[in-house]
Amino acid sequence: MATTTTTAAASLTTLSPAAGKRFGLSYPSLSFSSHRLATTTLRTGASSRTARRRAATASPVVATIAVGDKLPDATLSYFDPADGELKTVTVAELTAGKKAILFAVPGAFTPTCSQKHLPGFVEKAGELKAKGVATVACVSVNDAFVMKAWKESLGLGDDVLLLSDGNLELTRALGVEMDLSDKPVGLGVRSRRYALLAEDGVVKVLNLEEGGAFTTSSAEEMLKVLG
Amino acid sequence: MATSALAALSATTAAAAGKHILLSRPAASLSFASRRLAAGASLRGFLGAPIRAVASSASAPPKTIAVGDRLPDATLSYFDTSSPDGELKTVTVRDLTAGKKVVLFAVPGAFTPTCTQKHLPGFVAKAGELRAKGVDAVACVSVNDAFVMRAWKESLGVGDEVLLLSDGNRELARAMGVELDLSDKPVGLGVRSRRYALLAEDGVVKVLNLEEGGAFTNSSAEDMLKAL
């Protein structure tokens, strides 16, 4: 099986100088000061399907992402295994000018995600890349510490990037939130499961599940549509 | 066809209702009743609105917990790794604390450095000494789901000395007025709990070491031992 000559994480930094920005967080003391939430700006692509309406919650609700839409921009984060630093990458940096697969799981360390969805993409990453996919990235509404621990627990390399959408920025912008906060397991609000193929940031294939079901969003399904 | 994790979860929690567990340590057995989560968690306020520690009703935000207050009730969850099926169980703050001395400490996040390297290990190391001073249970709570709490527990090799409980829907953190809004930071922590360690006797707070944010100054196990 062919191995990648550069890690996917290293390839991120070649995208643009802005990619893989470092944040000077001082460890080991995790000192944060609590402060009011700044209003999150939701930016979606100029898609004719995007509709904004004010719900009773006063949070803007966007239409669900669809084939043909430009992916909204959002900032995701990860710990770079090369230097252990927290880095960020935008959806634009991940997807501009190439074929990228983005798939979302409801939660790191949850059974289906850990046992089937992510491992499936890890296994098929080589085949996907042979079909011209430059980036395969997994996104979850978990913080970057948890994503790193999950990656390590599964012994993964960098064929599939594990990116944190812990502030729900991308999930909200895609309109794929899933509110599980009435369930005792404590998942709160997460992302619906999906797998999508984007070309130069435009969605070409979208396999979006109802909730956390695992039917069409697998790596095998994505391989089939790539032909 | 693989069943969804969520469908499996619903079955698990239904089965967990009313189950008792016995921890394999000499302390009193903890019996738990599973109950439906009160409508305290809501989508609004998660992003895009100022965080006030409110429940979904229009009541005034809970003030920050203080010595002398009764702990608010809330439902926490965990995977019972001591039972053969390792199923999801819930425990209320009331069940956890009624008629006992309990040390409850909160961390901003599982797998974060200070929590993983200092705060939790400190309590694991001192659990025996705390019990010798009459503490019936030591519990760690975090705004993480129960899957993550279980994985964290396993990664650190924690046994039953310290219970790791999920406040993943932020019910307890909100009710105590200790939410910590980190959602403008890129690491993706969202809204969590301030770090604290408290001693409750029959559910009433006797000692409270509440940090500003995630700082680690007086909320350690050593500090709690000194106060006992």
- Tens of pLDDT, residue by residue over A111-120, are 887 789 999 9
Determine the pLDDT at residue B114: 84
Average pLDDT over residues B73-98: 93
User: Which whole number is the average pLDDT over A44-48?
Assistant: 41
Say how many Å lie between the first and final Cα of chain B, rounded: 55
CA distance A174 to chain B (A): 15
User: How many angstroms separate the CA atoms of A142 and A119, rounded?
Assistant: 18
Total residue count of chain B as it appears in this document:
228
Check residue B19 and give its pLDDT: 40
pLDDT at B29: 37
Tokens 């995977």 -> residue: B79
Determine the residue of chain B that is closest to A146 in CA distance. Answer: B111
* pLDDT above 80 (res A21): no
Q: Which residue has the tokens 């991940």?
A: A94
DSSP string, A24-61: ----SS------PPPPPPP---S-TT--EEE-TTSSEE
- Partner-chain contact B214 A30, CB within 8 Å: yes
Task: Give CA separation, A35 vs B63, B95, B174, in Å.
Answer: 16, 33, 15
pLDDT digits (tens, 9 = 90+) for B115-166: 778 999 999 999 999 999 999 999 999 999 999 999 999 999 999 999 999 9
* Smallest CA–CA distance from B179 into chain A, residue: A34
> So what's the pLDDT on residue B50?
41
pLDDT tens digits along A155-180 = 999 999 999 999 999 999 999 999 99
- Calculate the dihedral angle through the C-alpha atoms of B4, B8, B10, B16, rounding to the nearest 10 degrees: -170
pLDDT at B189 > cutoff 70: yes
Q: Does B50 touch chain A (CB under 8 A)?
A: yes
ipTM tops 0.90: no
Q: Identify whether the C-beta of residue B135 lies closer than 8 Å to the C-beta of residue B101.
A: yes
**Residue B168's pLDDT is what?**
96
pLDDT recorded at residue A159: 95
Average pLDDT of span B14-32: 39
Question: Which range, A42-51, B45-54, B132-141, has the best average confidence (pLDDT)?
Answer: B132-141
Nearest to B216, CA basis, from B109, B107, B65, B123: B107
Work out the pLDDT band at A23, boundaries 50, 70, 90. Answer: low
- Strand ranges in chain A using DSSP code E only, listed in sequence order: 21-22, 52-54, 60-62, 75-79, 86-90, 99-105, 135-140, 161-164, 177-179, 189-191, 194-199, 202-208
Is A113 an annotated catalytic residue?
Answer: yes
Provide the shortest C-alpha distance from residue A57 to chain B (in Å): 6
**What is this structure's pTM?**
0.77
Q: Could you tell me which chain B residue has the CA closest to the CA of A144?
A: B187
CB atoms A184 and B13 under 8 Å = yes
User: In this predicted structure, what is the pLDDT of residue A63?
Assistant: 82
Q: How many Cβ atoms sit within 10 Å of the Cβ of residue A174?
A: 30
Q: How many CB atoms lie within 10 A of CB B57?
A: 9
pLDDT recorded at residue A123:
96
Cβ A80 vs Cβ A9: under 8 Å: yes
The percentage of chain A sitting over the pLDDT mark of 90, rounded to a whole number, equals: 68
How many residues comprise chain A?
227
Between A40, A42, A179, which is nearest B43 by CB?
A179
Q: What residues of A are in contact with residue B190 (Cβ under 8 Å)?
A: 141, 143, 166-168, 188
- Listed residue (A102, A84, A98) closest to A27, CA to CA: A84
Q: What is the pLDDT of residue B37?
A: 38
Instruction: Report CB contact under 8 Å: A165, B185.
Output: no
Contact flag A58-B44 (C-beta cutoff 8 Å): yes
Contacts of B49 in chain A (CB under 8 A): 37, 57-59
What rounded mean pLDDT belongs to chain B? 81
- Interface probe, candidates B4, B37, B89, chain A, greatest A C-beta count within 10 A: B4
Q: Which two tokens stand for residue A3?
A: 């191995």
Q: What is the pLDDT of residue A114?
A: 76
d(CA B67, CA B49): 30
Report pLDDT for B112.
95
pLDDT attached to residue B81: 83
Structure-token pair, residue A139: 């996104």
pLDDT tens digits, A52-102: 443 444 556 678 999 999 999 999 999 999 999 999 999 999 999 999 999
Q: Is the pLDDT of residue B18 over 70?
A: no
Yes or no, beta carbons of B188 and A165 under 8 Å apart: yes
Q: Which residue has the higher pLDDT, B105 or B11?
A: B105
φ, ψ at A128 (rounded to 5°): -65, -40
Q: Do B43 and A86 touch (CB under 8 A)?
A: no
pLDDT of residue B177 exceeding 90, the answer is: yes
